[in-house]
Structure 1
Amino acid sequence: MNEQVSLSTLKMTLNLFVLLYQSGQVRHENDLA
């Protein structure tokens, strides 16, 4: 049970980091343009 909860938390955290990273990439591209 605990392992499943940890896995979903890990996935949610990973998705959050990906969103933040993508947002940063877009911002950098806009600065370069």
Structure 2
Amino acid sequence: VTQRLCNQIAGKLNSRPRKRLGFFTPQEYIHAHL
């Protein structure tokens, strides 16, 4: 497993909307609450 593959997987997971965050992505949630 390469670092590039890990980064791609992390990017996909972090850009996925989460039910726990009100269907915002983690990045959208952080920006909305700062």
TM-score relative to the length of structure 2:
0.47
Higher relative contact order (CA 8 A, sep 6+): 2
Which has more radius of gyration? 1
Between structures 1 and 2, the one with greater helix share: 1
